[in-house]
Each structure stands twice: as C-alpha cells, then as structure tokens.
C-alpha cells in the first residue's frame, strides 16, 4: 500500500536497532543465543512494549542481507532487489554507473586441488587483505573493460567491471561451502555470456597473481547493476540517518537516500554518534554486525556476547527520549547451521501507542506469544509510523 497520502509529519523520533543475524533456534543443548544471553535492558523494553516474530521474505525463504534490509525498511523484497555488489559500491563511496556490473567478493583460500579450504581466508585481517586487493587492481587487465576493485573489510572486496555491453545476470561462484570447487561463472541469459567470459578471465588472472598468498582466489556473489529505487524520505516522510559499521549496510542506507554518519568502531561509539545526530533527524538506524559473524562461525558464546553488547547501550538510548524503538534482526543465523536461515526473527516494539502484551523477556519463544504475532517484516514499517503518530486515518 502506498502510505504517502496518509503521512502525518510530526516531531517524533524512531530508533531501529538491527542485530544482524539475530534469529536462531533452540535445540537439545538449550535455548537460542538471545534466550541464553543476559539482557535485562532488552527484557525491560519487551515487558513494557509488544513483541512478535517476522518472516523476512516469506515462509521457508532464507533471505540474503540485501532482501533482509529492504524488508526492514518496508520495501517488499519480492518487488525491489539489491545485489551485494550495488550495496558494497555504495558503502565504499564507489560510483556505480548505469551499465556497470558489481559483485561482492570474498578473498578465499583454495586447496591445491582447487577446492575451497576457507571461504574467508581465515577472516584475513584488513591490513593483510588490502595489499592483496591493491595488487590485483594493479595487475589484472581485461580486454575492453575497466576493472575497479576496492577493499571493504577483512576478506571482503568489491569487484566491478565498467564498459559496454555488460550484463549482471551471472550466477554466483561462491557455493557457500568448503571442500568443493567454486562454481563457474554461468550466464543466466545469453546476453550475459560476454560478462561471464570476462569474469572467468579475471578469476584465472587473480589465481595466478595470488598463487603464493594464503588468500589465493576471489569468490563472487550478488552481481548487480544500478537500478532506480524510491527514496526512504519519499515513501515515509522521514529524515533518516544510518549508524552502521560495515560498508555494505552503510551502502543500502545511502542507496535509499538516508544520511550516513561517520563510521564507528563499536556499539559504544555508535552511541556517541547517535547523541551527536539526535537533533537533526527523526529516524535512526543502528546496525550491529557481530551477531551474524558469530553465527556464521558457529560460535554460540560469541553471539551471546554480541547480543549483550547491544543490551548494554539500551539505557543510554532510552535517556535520549525516543518515541518508538524497534529491535530485531534482518534474518536468522543459527550457529548450528553456520549460515543464514529461514527461521522467523524476534521483533520488539516499544513506545508510542504500541500497547503491552504478556511477554516479559526478549527471545524467540517468548516472542511467539506476543501480540504482534507472526507477520512479514515489510509490514513493520507502517506499524512504526502508526506508533509514532505519523499515519492519518484511512477513509472517511
């Protein structure tokens, strides 16, 4: 539904706290990481507000980070699409032009037989990864196109081709598994054959250039090009800002027209930035990556600790006087699976006129009894606007 005719601007402030990969599932060893974490401040919000669960895309669908964030911001991810390449380019302030093809790359480690030993090259430190990316940028040469590489963080790298006749409809090479070879660059349409061939040559050269390094190849996924996207301000009448640490999440914020604050190192610095920009905005997006990274590493204790990091800054957020606060995830990343999953994510909404339900603790099982029920994530944005008094009545 187009909400623009119903928008009722006011001076309310909305804070959305996203714990990337927050969701999980209980097993014989105990509850989820959120349920096992010590979270007195999140629990207080849950006890005073309303809770539920959200399917980010739909039942049984495992979302990527792009669809997860679009849904969080109220954009139906089955209607709007953003590949990781476009997100990475925007997050790194690399201009993505119409006709360019960009992908998210992982520096990885291949075994001598060509199978993947480590998809992230041991989460190689940025100080070691950056010179490898710079070497690739200096030495890779493809006929008829410009190659643009930019290091993001740790193993992550933006790979972009610029030239005539490129097409992003190429399959990912990252199988998201170890012990198997990378997928070949496969065109999903005949028009993408040249692009697939160019990328195959890039891969050949990259492996040769990096042959003596621990990170000796580049996996790619999320091929994309520049597509028009309606702005967040246009859709919701909000002056939004993003306080995210990782480039990709800063990127999606920028694509949607949000302001993007200076890069923080940790939640404590994110809190400092929130104070600095509080008076100038009315919607604040705070992104926490550590929960997802721990889930992908299969480290339950690290994921618990990452959740507790966010719990620690909740009192400071409340002191600023927000009208509405939402806490949720963009997808589940259960440590048991070491990957994104289809499991619904817990949702907490506090403040405004949201009401109070029987939930007294923030966790997957308690939230299943909350009055928000089980709903699509893209439905949460209208609920936040309503709770903040920013939607007029529909009809006479």
The C-alpha atoms of residue 132 and residue 149 are separated, in whole angstroms, by: 11
Pairing relationship of beta strands 101-110 and 240-243 according to DSSP bridges: unpaired
- CATH number for the 4-82+230-387 domain, one of 3.90.1150.10, 1.10.3720.10, 3.40.720.10, 3.40.50.620? 3.40.720.10
Q: In Å, how far are 56, 190, 366, 388 from 321, measured between CA atoms? A: 28, 55, 26, 13
Give the Cα separation of 188 and 173 in Å (integer). 13
Residue 121 CA to residue 139 CA, distance in Å, equals 21
Give the residue extent of every domain in the chain. 4-82+230-387, 87-224
pLDDT score at 59: 95
What does the pLDDT read at residue 20? 97
Alpha-carbon distance of 237 to 98, in angstroms, equals: 27
Q: Distance between CA 63 and CA 199 in Å, rounded?
A: 25
Cα torsion 57, 58, 59, 60: sign: negative
Q: What region does 236 belong to: left with phi over 0, alpha with psi -120 to 50, or beta?
A: alpha
Q: Chunked in runs of 10, what are the mean pLDDT values of the chain (396 residues)? A: 94 98 92 97 98 96 92 94 78 84 95 96 95 97 95 93 95 95 97 97 97 96 85 97 89 91 94 98 97 96 98 98 98 96 98 94 97 97 97 92
Answer for the pair 196, 183: CB distance below 8 angstroms, yes or no.
no
| Rounded CA separation 197/192 (Å) | 9
A 10 A CB-CB count for 391 gives: 18
């Amino acid at each position: 539904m187009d909400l623009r005719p119903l928008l009722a601007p006011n001076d309310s402030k909305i804070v959305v706290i996203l714990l990337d990969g927050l969701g999980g599932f209980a097993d014989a060893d105990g509850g989820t990481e959120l349920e096992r974490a010590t979270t007195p401040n999140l629990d207080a919000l849950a006890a005073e507000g309303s809770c539920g669960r959200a399917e980010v895309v739909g039942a049984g669908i495992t979302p990527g980070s792009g669809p997860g964030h679009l849904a969080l911001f109220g954009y139906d991810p089955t209607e709007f699409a953003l590949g990781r390449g476009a997100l990475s380019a925007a997050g790194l302030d690399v201009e993505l032009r119409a006709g360019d093809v960009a992908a998210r790359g992982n520096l990885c480690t291949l075994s001598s037989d060509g199978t993947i030993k480590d998809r992230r090259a041991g989460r190689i430190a940025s100080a070691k990864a950056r010179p490898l990316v710079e070497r690739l940028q200096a030495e890779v040469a493809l006929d008829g196109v410009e190659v643009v590489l930019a290091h993001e963080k740790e193993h992550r790298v933006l790979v972009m081709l610029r030239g005539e006749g490129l097409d992003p409809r190429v399959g990912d090479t990252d199988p998201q598994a170890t012990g198997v070879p990378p997928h070949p660059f496969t065109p999903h349409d005949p028009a993408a054959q040249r692009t697939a061939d160019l990328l195959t040559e890039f891969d050949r050269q990259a492996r040769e250039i990096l042959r003596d390094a621990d990170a000796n190849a580049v996996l790619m996924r999320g091929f994309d090009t520049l597509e028009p996207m309606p702005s967040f301000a246009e859709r919701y009448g909000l002056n939004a800002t993003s306080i995210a640490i990782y480039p990709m999440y800063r990127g999606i914020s920028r694509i949607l027209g949000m302001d993007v604050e200076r890069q923080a190192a940790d939640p404590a610095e994110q809190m400092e930035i929130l104070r600095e920009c509080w008076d100038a905005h009315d919607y604040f997006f705070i992104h926490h990556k550590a929960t997802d990274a721990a889930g992908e590493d299969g480290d339950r204790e690290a994921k618990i600790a990452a959740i507790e990091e966010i719990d620690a800054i909740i009192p400071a957020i409340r002191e600023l006087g927000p009208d509405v606060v939402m806490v949720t995830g963009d997808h589940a990343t259960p440590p048991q699976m070491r990957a994104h999953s289809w499991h619904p994510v817990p949702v907490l909404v506090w403040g405004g006129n949201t009401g109070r339900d029987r939930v007294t603790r923030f966790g997957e099982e308690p939230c299943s009894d909350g009055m928000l029920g089980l709903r699509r994530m893209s439905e949460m944005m209208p609920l936040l606007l309503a709770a903040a008094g920013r939607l007029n009545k529909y009809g006479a």
